[in-house]
Amino acid sequence: MVSRLRDEIQERLNARLTRVLDAAEIGIPGRDQFQAFRKFALREFGNQGFLPELDALLQQHGQARNGQAEAAGKEVPR
C-alpha cells in the first residue's frame, strides 16, 4: 500500500505534466518531435525518474510506502 502523501504528490504531478504535454502538443511542430518530447517527459517524471526519487525521499524522512512512520509500532526506549 502506497502512502497517501505519495499518492497526492503523484496526482498533482500528473495533472501538471498533462497540462505541459497538452501545451507541448500545440507548440511543438511535427508529430515525431512531440512524441520524442512526450517520451522524455514521461520518463523523467514517471517510474524511471522522479517517482523512485520521491520514494527514496519519503523513506529517508521516515515515511514508509505504507504511510506509517518508521518507528510506528516500536517501543520507545527509556
H or E element: which one contains 40? helix 31-45
Task: Please give the chain's pLDDT, 78 residues, in tens.
Answer: 358 899 999 999 999 999 999 999 999 999 999 999 999 999 999 999 999 999 999 888 875 555 555 555 555 554
Q: What pLDDT, on a 0 to 100 scale, did the predictor assign at position 62?
A: 75
Q: What pLDDT, on a 0 to 100 scale, did the predictor assign at position 65?
A: 52
Q: What pLDDT, on a 0 to 100 scale, did the predictor assign at position 74?
A: 56
The CA distance from 51 to 42, in Å, is: 11
Q: What pLDDT, on a 0 to 100 scale, did the predictor assign at position 63?
A: 59
The CA distance from 11 to 62, in Å, is: 21
